Amino acid sequence: MDKGTFEVLDVRAGIEAENDRFAALVRARTEREGTYLINLMASPGAGKTSVLCRVIDALGDRFRIGVMEADMDADVDARTVAAHGAEVVQLHTGTSCHMDARMTLQGLDAFGSLPDVIVLENVGNLVCPAEFDVGADLRLMILSVPEGDDKPLKYPLMFTVSDMMLINKIDTAPIFDFDPERCEKNVRALHPDMEIFPVSAKTGEGIDAFCRRLTERIDAARAGKRKGATP
């Protein structure tokens, strides 16, 4: 390179290409074993683990459920989820604020024979997890009432890439200045087809309706995987 000149390298492109390669391997693995993989994303304290425990209690008799708990350095949530009967793999991400597809593939390997449904409880934040395809069948996000109805405006990518959204802690609505109609309007501007379910992990309100829809998605996807499986 000549003096006084510079070259621009798009290092992000290389990272994305590598992640896409591992995401394809994740999809191939879940396709082969008929497993439905959910990437669960939310801010810290939004209620990921509490909602997940409700889902395990509701669907645990129908599906063999596994959970990959991603934390920088803790096992508190893994212990909580395991107490509800799920098969749990704890993933420590160290300084990484998200899971990528390579990490997800490592988590799958830890199960051996894959469960019917695996939920990846991603590291808690509304930014980094949205940027990485982990090979999931469903990208599920949670927004809690205390966080405010303006979060789609502040963190648009998360609301753009997710397939389903839970508005958790609706039992606290009388306390906080949260307008559900304004929130939905903000979400629809980014993702017109987003499926939205108001729920309360504490009281159980709305959980049955969400689990019915989730079961429909799981059954349809797993049937398609079985149909497409190589004999």
The answer to whether the beta carbons of residues 110 and 29 sit under 8 Å apart is no
Q: How many domains are there within the chain?
A: 1
Q: Is residue 175 part of a domain?
A: yes
Q: Which CATH number belongs to the domain containing residue 148 in this structure?
A: 3.40.50.300
Q: Is residue 183 part of a domain?
A: yes
- Which residue range forms the structural domain that includes residue 117? 16-222
Q: Is residue 121 part of a domain?
A: yes
Q: Is residue 2 part of a domain?
A: no
Q: Is residue 205 part of a domain?
A: yes
pLDDT in tens, 169-191: 999 999 999 999 999 999 999 99
Q: Is residue 168 part of a domain?
A: yes
Q: Is residue 7 part of a domain?
A: no
pLDDT in tens, 88-145: 999 887 666 778 999 999 999 999 899 999 999 998 899 989 999 999 999 999 999 9
d(CA 177, CA 45): 18
Residue showing tokens 């959980």: 207
What is the pTM assigned to this prediction?
Answer: 0.90
Q: Is residue 58 part of a domain?
A: yes
The answer to whether the beta carbons of residues 180 and 210 sit under 8 Å apart is no
